[in-house]
Amino acid sequence: MTGFVSFVGSGPGDPELLTLKAVARLQSADAVLFDDLSSAVLGHARPGADLVAVGKRAGRPSPTQAHVSQLLVEYARTGSRVVRLKSGDAGMFGRLEEEIVALRTAGIPFEIIPGISAASAAAAAAQIPLTRRLSARRVQFVTGHDVTGDLPEQRNMAALADPEATTVVFMPKRTFPALAASLIEHGLSPDTPALIAENIGHPDQSLIRSTIAKLAEQLQAGFSSKPALILYGPLMEAE
Protein backbone atom coordinates (compact mmCIF):
# COMPACT_ATOMS: atom_id res chain seq x y z
CA MET A 1 0.00 0.00 0.00
CA THR A 2 1.77 3.14 -1.23
CA GLY A 3 0.74 6.73 -0.71
CA PHE A 4 1.88 9.89 -2.42
CA VAL A 5 4.07 12.79 -1.31
CA SER A 6 3.63 16.40 -2.42
CA PHE A 7 6.58 18.68 -1.79
CA VAL A 8 4.90 22.06 -1.40
CA GLY A 9 6.61 25.44 -1.30
CA SER A 10 4.71 27.50 1.26
CA GLY A 11 6.15 30.84 0.17
CA PRO A 12 7.74 33.24 2.66
CA GLY A 13 4.98 32.98 5.26
CA ASP A 14 2.04 35.08 4.13
CA PRO A 15 -0.85 32.62 3.57
CA GLU A 16 -2.15 34.81 0.74
CA LEU A 17 1.03 34.05 -1.24
CA LEU A 18 0.24 30.32 -1.42
CA THR A 19 -0.54 28.93 -4.86
CA LEU A 20 -3.96 27.41 -5.52
CA LYS A 21 -2.34 24.02 -6.05
CA ALA A 22 -0.59 24.28 -2.67
CA VAL A 23 -3.90 25.01 -0.95
CA ALA A 24 -5.56 22.07 -2.71
CA ARG A 25 -2.85 19.65 -1.56
CA LEU A 26 -3.05 20.90 2.03
CA GLN A 27 -6.81 20.50 2.04
CA SER A 28 -6.59 16.87 0.92
CA ALA A 29 -3.52 15.73 2.89
CA ASP A 30 -3.67 13.02 5.55
CA ALA A 31 -0.40 14.25 7.04
CA VAL A 32 1.58 17.50 6.79
CA LEU A 33 5.26 17.55 7.73
CA PHE A 34 6.12 21.22 8.02
CA ASP A 35 9.08 23.54 8.52
CA ASP A 36 9.02 26.13 11.31
CA LEU A 37 8.69 29.00 8.85
CA SER A 38 5.69 27.34 7.16
CA SER A 39 3.42 27.11 10.20
CA ALA A 40 1.46 30.27 9.28
CA VAL A 41 -0.24 28.47 6.38
CA LEU A 42 -1.39 25.40 8.35
CA GLY A 43 -4.88 26.85 8.57
CA HIS A 44 -5.44 25.41 5.09
CA ALA A 45 -4.75 21.85 6.25
CA ARG A 46 -7.62 19.38 6.37
CA PRO A 47 -9.21 19.04 9.83
CA GLY A 48 -7.96 15.84 11.38
CA ALA A 49 -4.73 15.68 9.39
CA ASP A 50 -1.57 14.82 11.28
CA LEU A 51 0.54 17.98 11.65
CA VAL A 52 4.18 17.13 12.32
CA ALA A 53 6.81 19.81 12.95
CA VAL A 54 10.13 18.83 11.37
CA GLY A 55 11.77 22.23 10.96
CA LYS A 56 15.49 22.76 11.40
CA ARG A 57 16.73 26.06 12.84
CA ALA A 58 20.31 27.01 13.55
CA GLY A 59 21.24 26.73 17.21
CA ARG A 60 18.06 24.91 18.19
CA PRO A 61 17.30 21.22 18.79
CA SER A 62 16.08 19.87 15.45
CA PRO A 63 15.24 16.52 13.89
CA THR A 64 17.97 15.08 11.71
CA GLN A 65 17.53 15.03 7.95
CA ALA A 66 17.59 11.23 8.01
CA HIS A 67 14.71 11.21 10.52
CA VAL A 68 12.63 13.59 8.38
CA SER A 69 13.21 11.49 5.27
CA GLN A 70 12.27 8.32 7.14
CA LEU A 71 9.05 9.91 8.41
CA LEU A 72 8.06 10.73 4.83
CA VAL A 73 8.63 7.13 3.79
CA GLU A 74 6.77 5.69 6.77
CA TYR A 75 3.71 7.90 6.29
CA ALA A 76 3.55 7.17 2.57
CA ARG A 77 3.83 3.42 3.15
CA THR A 78 0.56 3.55 5.09
CA GLY A 79 -1.16 4.79 1.93
CA SER A 80 -1.37 8.38 3.17
CA ARG A 81 -1.42 11.52 1.07
CA VAL A 82 1.49 13.43 2.53
CA VAL A 83 2.43 17.08 2.16
CA ARG A 84 6.02 18.01 2.90
CA LEU A 85 5.63 21.73 3.50
CA LYS A 86 8.81 23.74 2.97
CA SER A 87 9.23 27.48 3.41
CA GLY A 88 9.78 29.64 0.36
CA ASP A 89 10.35 27.50 -2.71
CA ALA A 90 10.91 23.83 -1.95
CA GLY A 91 13.90 23.62 -4.27
CA MET A 92 15.79 26.61 -2.85
CA PHE A 93 18.22 25.68 -0.03
CA GLY A 94 15.58 23.37 1.44
CA ARG A 95 17.34 19.97 1.58
CA LEU A 96 14.90 18.76 -1.07
CA GLU A 97 17.35 16.43 -2.76
CA GLU A 98 17.89 14.19 0.28
CA GLU A 99 14.15 13.66 0.66
CA ILE A 100 13.66 12.94 -3.04
CA VAL A 101 16.41 10.32 -2.90
CA ALA A 102 14.74 8.65 0.10
CA LEU A 103 11.39 8.46 -1.70
CA ARG A 104 12.88 7.16 -4.93
CA THR A 105 14.81 4.49 -3.03
CA ALA A 106 11.57 3.41 -1.35
CA GLY A 107 9.64 3.47 -4.63
CA ILE A 108 7.23 6.17 -3.46
CA PRO A 109 5.76 8.58 -6.05
CA PHE A 110 5.93 12.31 -5.47
CA GLU A 111 5.44 15.73 -7.02
CA ILE A 112 7.02 19.13 -6.48
CA ILE A 113 4.83 22.24 -6.24
CA PRO A 114 6.92 25.43 -6.41
CA GLY A 115 6.38 28.33 -4.05
CA ILE A 116 7.28 31.99 -4.02
CA SER A 117 10.90 32.37 -2.98
CA ALA A 118 11.79 34.62 -0.07
CA ALA A 119 14.07 36.45 -2.50
CA SER A 120 11.16 37.43 -4.74
CA ALA A 121 9.02 38.31 -1.74
CA ALA A 122 11.74 40.50 -0.24
CA ALA A 123 12.23 42.42 -3.49
CA ALA A 124 8.49 42.90 -3.79
CA ALA A 125 8.22 44.12 -0.20
CA ALA A 126 11.06 46.58 -0.84
CA GLN A 127 9.36 47.67 -4.09
CA ILE A 128 12.43 46.97 -6.18
CA PRO A 129 13.11 44.66 -9.14
CA LEU A 130 15.65 41.86 -8.88
CA THR A 131 16.91 42.72 -12.36
CA ARG A 132 17.55 46.09 -13.98
CA ARG A 133 17.71 46.41 -17.74
CA LEU A 134 21.02 48.25 -17.95
CA SER A 135 22.78 47.58 -14.66
CA ALA A 136 21.71 44.20 -13.25
CA ARG A 137 21.17 41.65 -15.99
CA ARG A 138 21.97 38.70 -13.72
CA VAL A 139 20.60 37.44 -10.40
CA GLN A 140 22.41 34.92 -8.22
CA PHE A 141 21.17 33.10 -5.13
CA VAL A 142 23.80 31.85 -2.67
CA THR A 143 23.85 30.41 0.82
CA GLY A 144 25.59 32.23 3.63
CA HIS A 145 26.87 29.07 5.30
CA ASP A 146 27.83 25.48 4.61
CA VAL A 147 26.91 22.36 6.60
CA THR A 148 29.22 23.44 9.43
CA GLY A 149 27.54 26.83 9.76
CA ASP A 150 30.60 28.65 8.44
CA LEU A 151 31.00 30.73 5.28
CA PRO A 152 31.50 28.25 2.42
CA GLU A 153 35.17 27.91 1.56
CA GLN A 154 34.57 27.32 -2.13
CA ARG A 155 33.21 30.63 -3.40
CA ASN A 156 33.23 32.12 -6.86
CA MET A 157 34.41 35.54 -5.77
CA ALA A 158 34.53 36.90 -9.32
CA ALA A 159 30.78 36.25 -9.56
CA LEU A 160 29.96 37.35 -6.02
CA ALA A 161 31.86 40.62 -6.44
CA ASP A 162 30.32 41.38 -9.83
CA PRO A 163 28.98 44.96 -9.53
CA GLU A 164 26.46 44.30 -12.32
CA ALA A 165 24.71 41.40 -10.59
CA THR A 166 22.01 41.31 -7.96
CA THR A 167 23.10 38.84 -5.29
CA VAL A 168 20.76 37.32 -2.72
CA VAL A 169 22.36 35.65 0.30
CA PHE A 170 20.21 33.17 2.21
CA MET A 171 20.89 32.52 5.92
CA PRO A 172 23.48 35.32 5.95
CA LYS A 173 23.61 37.01 9.33
CA ARG A 174 26.46 35.27 11.08
CA THR A 175 28.79 35.09 8.10
CA PHE A 176 28.04 38.28 6.18
CA PRO A 177 30.79 40.34 7.87
CA ALA A 178 33.38 37.86 6.57
CA LEU A 179 31.72 37.74 3.16
CA ALA A 180 31.62 41.54 2.91
CA ALA A 181 35.33 41.76 3.75
CA SER A 182 36.08 39.26 0.99
CA LEU A 183 33.85 41.12 -1.47
CA ILE A 184 35.65 44.39 -0.80
CA GLU A 185 39.02 42.64 -1.07
CA HIS A 186 37.97 41.40 -4.52
CA GLY A 187 37.06 44.86 -5.76
CA LEU A 188 33.40 45.43 -4.87
CA SER A 189 32.86 48.92 -3.53
CA PRO A 190 32.12 49.10 0.21
CA ASP A 191 29.35 51.55 -0.72
CA THR A 192 27.52 48.93 -2.78
CA PRO A 193 23.82 49.12 -1.82
CA ALA A 194 22.60 46.33 0.46
CA LEU A 195 19.25 45.41 1.94
CA ILE A 196 18.58 43.07 4.85
CA ALA A 197 15.06 41.64 4.94
CA GLU A 198 13.87 39.95 8.13
CA ASN A 199 10.75 37.79 8.64
CA ILE A 200 9.53 38.49 5.12
CA GLY A 201 5.89 37.57 4.63
CA HIS A 202 5.07 37.94 8.32
CA PRO A 203 3.35 40.85 10.11
CA ASP A 204 6.60 41.94 11.78
CA GLN A 205 8.72 41.90 8.62
CA SER A 206 11.42 44.55 8.41
CA LEU A 207 13.56 45.99 5.63
CA ILE A 208 16.75 47.92 6.31
CA ARG A 209 18.65 49.61 3.49
CA SER A 210 22.37 50.06 3.92
CA THR A 211 25.68 49.34 2.19
CA ILE A 212 27.69 46.14 2.35
CA ALA A 213 30.29 47.76 4.62
CA LYS A 214 27.82 49.35 7.03
CA LEU A 215 25.63 46.26 7.15
CA ALA A 216 28.64 44.08 7.91
CA GLU A 217 29.59 46.41 10.75
CA GLN A 218 26.05 46.30 12.12
CA LEU A 219 25.91 42.48 12.04
CA GLN A 220 29.36 42.23 13.58
CA ALA A 221 28.00 44.09 16.60
CA GLY A 222 25.09 41.65 16.99
CA PHE A 223 21.87 40.49 15.40
CA SER A 224 18.48 39.01 16.18
CA SER A 225 17.45 35.39 15.67
CA LYS A 226 14.81 36.33 13.08
CA PRO A 227 15.24 34.59 9.71
CA ALA A 228 16.64 36.93 7.10
CA LEU A 229 18.25 37.30 3.74
CA ILE A 230 20.51 39.98 2.31
CA LEU A 231 20.37 41.49 -1.15
CA TYR A 232 23.24 43.53 -2.54
CA GLY A 233 24.21 45.02 -5.89
CA PRO A 234 22.77 47.80 -8.04
CA LEU A 235 19.52 47.90 -6.09
CA MET A 236 16.93 50.48 -7.10
CA GLU A 237 15.98 52.96 -4.40
CA ALA A 238 12.25 52.88 -3.59
CA GLU A 239 10.43 56.17 -3.98
Per-residue pLDDT tens for 38-84?
A: 888 999 999 999 999 998 665 556 789 899 999 999 999 999 999 99
> Tell me, what's the pLDDT at 60?
58
Q: Which whole-number Å values give the CA distances from 164 to 131, 136, 168, 234, 235, in the listed order? A: 10, 5, 13, 7, 10
Co-location of 137 and 105 in the same domain:
no
Same domain? For 188 and 138 the reply is yes
Q: Is residue 162 part of a domain?
A: yes
- Residues 108, 34 within the same domain: yes
Out of 14, 30, 171, 173, the active site residue is 171
pTM score, whole prediction: 0.89
Average the pLDDT over 121-143 and give the result.
92
Q: What is the pLDDT of residue 216?
A: 97
Mean pLDDT of all residues belonging to the chain: 92
Q: Say if residue 170 is in the same domain as residue 100.
A: no
Catalytic residue status for 92: no
With respect to residue 45, please indicate whether it lies within any of the assigned structural domains. Answer: yes
Residue 34: give the domain boundaries.
4-113
* Residue 6 in this model has a pLDDT that exceeds 90: yes
151 lies in the same domain as 186 = yes
pLDDT digit string, tens, across residues 7-41:
999 999 899 999 999 999 999 999 999 998 888 89
d(CA 59, CA 61): 7
For 186-236, where are the alpha helices, taking DSSP H only? 212-221
Question: Residues 175, 109: one domain?
Answer: no
* 158 neighbors 172 (Cβ within 8 angstroms): no
Of the residues 30, 35, 89, 162, which is catalytic? 35
| Pair 101, 149 in one domain | no
Is the pLDDT score of 159 beyond 60? yes
For position 63, what pLDDT does the model report?
84
Same domain, 173 and 189: yes
At 145, is the pLDDT very low, low, confident or very high (cuts 50, 70, 90)? Answer: confident
Q: Does residue 105 form part of some domain?
A: yes
What CATH number is given to the structural domain containing 107?
3.40.1010.10
Of residues 155 and 217, more confidence is placed in 217
Residues 99 and 147 in one domain: no
Domain assignment of residue 15, yes or no: yes
Is residue 238 a part of any domain in this protein? no
Domain finish residue from 113, 133, 156: 113
CATH number where 199 lies: 3.30.950.10
**Last residue of one domain, picked from the residues 79, 113, 147:** 113
Same domain, 122 and 109: no
Same domain, 228 and 161: yes
**Number of structural domains, the chain?**
2
Number of Cβ within 10 Å of residue 117's Cβ equals: 24
Our answer to whether residue 35 is catalytic in this structure is yes
Catalytic residue among 21, 56, 214, 226: 56
Query: Is the residue at 83 inside a domain?
Result: yes
Q: What is the pLDDT of residues 184-237, one digit of tens each?
A: 999 999 999 999 999 998 889 999 999 999 999 999 998 888 899 999 999 877
Asked whether the beta carbons of 73 and 104 are under 8 A apart, the reply is no
Q: How confident is the model at residue 52, as a pLDDT? A: 95
Q: What is the pLDDT of residue 135?
A: 83
Assess whether 39 and 62 both reside in one domain: yes
At which of 53, 88, 113 does a domain end?
113
In a domain, 239, yes or no: no
Residue 224's pLDDT is: 87
Structural domain includes residue 30: yes
User: What is the structure's pLDDT at 58?
Assistant: 55
The number of helix segments (H) and strand segments (E) in the chain equals 7, 10
Q: Is the pLDDT of residue 116 over 90?
A: yes
User: What span, in angstroms and rounded, lies between the C-alpha atoms of 124 and 57?
Assistant: 25
Give 137-167 as a DSSP string: -EEEEEES--TTSSPPSS--HHHHT-TTEEE
